[in-house]
Amino acid sequence: MKKQYIILVAIFQNIFLIAMVKSQPSFNAPSANCRSYTCKGGKKYLAVPKGKSKYKSSGCKSNGISMFDVNQMAGRKDPVTQCCDLRTACFSICGVSYKYCEKEFKKCSVTLCARELDPTKNEACTRSANLYEMTMKLGGCKNFDDLQAANCDCVIGENRLEKKRVKALATFYKKHNKKFATDEAKLKKLVTKHGVNNNKFAKLVFKMVKKYYPKSINVIVDPQQKMYEEVIKQHERDDAKDETDTLDGSRPAPATDKKEEEEDDVETIEIEEDGTANVHDEKKENAEVDVDVNHDNDDDLVIDLDDE
């Protein structure tokens, strides 16, 4: 019962949000003022990305307000899933700017929706993108802050910072481009060029993730979405069972020929002039007639064969 209640709340939440987007297609909520991660303990501690070969995402469920994914329930892939995956990865890169991730999501969704030449599909894609953009903004900074804290390490000194950055790039390339992973000179050059500040280095990492997408992102199942799916499937199974039981219960019993049940041997009593009573069994006599008819047919058949 609790699961059903949660689903109803989520569905009504979706209806409300979709209604807002439909009434204001260009809805533009103010951007959240989220700050990039900074280490505790003072300026001597510097934030650096943890070495990752892959980033995690649960699609468009990963950001903002938790929503009931109607597309997934209907067996359809959300048109902007790629953009949601990349946005989650962007939030997970230590030192990145929130506004940069927001801008990249917008650029991605506009590009993908522009590929939909069918007007109906294009409108649906744009509406979906606007909806997820709005939920991201309404969700505030918590999701961004949590992902930043989970994916940042803190080191002391520029030398350690450079080594950790080189190691982070090598870890990623080891999975997606082994040739670059062993080229330390190239990695150091990238760190020097893009390591002016945390945000610039984070942009480099994001470009790498985007280049090797979807292999660069590990898609995970959202626990709440999984619960929705299980409840919906259980309802479908229950409905199918009820329908089967109804059909079985409504099937009429095999019809019986009442005439055959009620038909008894019919006997006729005939009184002769001399008072003698003769009993006639009509059923028996009819049977004898049938036999005679059949014999006649057989004789005719034999005659026909002899004539030939």
Mean pLDDT of 46-63: 88
Q: Higher model confidence: residue 279 or residue 204?
A: 204
Taking a C-beta distance cutoff of 8 angstroms, is the pair 39, 148 a contact? no
Taking a C-beta distance cutoff of 8 angstroms, is the pair 25, 127 a contact? yes
Structure tokens at 17: 């949000």
Residue whose entry in the numeric block shows the structure tokens 């004898």: 288
Note the pLDDT of residue 2.
47
Taking a C-beta distance cutoff of 8 angstroms, is the pair 129, 83 a contact? yes
Taking a C-beta distance cutoff of 8 angstroms, is the pair 152, 48 a contact? yes
Statement: residue 43 has pLDDT above 70 = yes
pLDDT tier for residue 17 given thresholds of 50, 70 and 90: very low
Note the pLDDT of residue 242.
73
Note the pLDDT of residue 257.
53
User: For the chain, which residues make up each domain, given as ranges?
Assistant: 7-234, 268-307
Length of the chain (residues): 308
Q: Which residue blocks in the chain are alpha helix, DSSP H?
A: 2-23, 70-73, 81-91, 98-114, 119-138, 142-150, 158-176, 178-181, 184-194, 198-211, 223-250, 258-262, 282-307
127: nearest Cα among 23, 12, 32: 23
Mean pLDDT of 5-32: 46
- pLDDT, one tens digit per residue, over 144-202 is 999 999 999 999 999 999 999 999 999 999 999 999 999 999 999 999 999 999 999 99
Taking a C-beta distance cutoff of 8 angstroms, is the pair 13, 68 a contact? yes
Statement: residue 277 has pLDDT above 50 = yes
Residue type, position 296, single letter:
D
- 3-state helix/strand/coil string of 87-128: HHHHHCCCCCCHHHHHHHHHHHHHHHHHCCCCHHHHHHHHHH
Instruction: Classify residue 61 by its DSSP letter.
Output: G
Note the pLDDT of residue 34.
93
Taking a C-beta distance cutoff of 8 angstroms, is the pair 153, 50 a contact? yes
Top mean-pLDDT range of 64-78, 83-97, 229-243: 83-97
Span of 101-110, 171-180, 236-245, 290-299 with lowest mean pLDDT: 290-299
pLDDT tier for residue 101 given thresholds of 50, 70 and 90: very high
Note the pLDDT of residue 191.
97
Residue whose entry in the numeric block shows the structure tokens 């506009």: 110
d(CA 219, CA 55): 8
Statement: residue 301 has pLDDT above 50 = no
Top mean-pLDDT range of 155-159, 294-298, 300-304: 155-159
25 cis-preceded (ω within 30 degrees of 0): no
Q: Higher model confidence: residue 291 or residue 224?
A: 224
Note the pLDDT of residue 231.
72
Question: For all residues of the chain together, what is the average pLDDT?
Answer: 76
- pLDDT, one tens digit per residue, over 242-272 is 777 677 665 555 555 555 444 455 555 555 5
pTM across the whole model: 0.65
Taking a C-beta distance cutoff of 8 angstroms, is the pair 185, 211 a contact? no
DSSP labels, 114-172 = HT--SHHHHHHHHHHHHHHHHHHHHTTTHHHHHHHHHTEEEEESHHHHHHHHHHHHHHH
- pLDDT, one tens digit per residue, over 118-151 is 999 999 999 989 988 888 888 789 999 999 999 9
Structure tokens at 118: 């069918």
Instruction: Classify residue 251 by its DSSP letter.
Output: P
Cα–chain center distance at 91: 24
Taking a C-beta distance cutoff of 8 angstroms, is the pair 153, 48 a contact? yes
Contacts of 62 (CB under 8 A, 6+ apart): 84, 85, 87, 88, 143, 222
Q: Higher model confidence: residue 138 or residue 204?
A: 204
d(CA 83, CA 87): 6
Structure tokens at 185: 């000179």
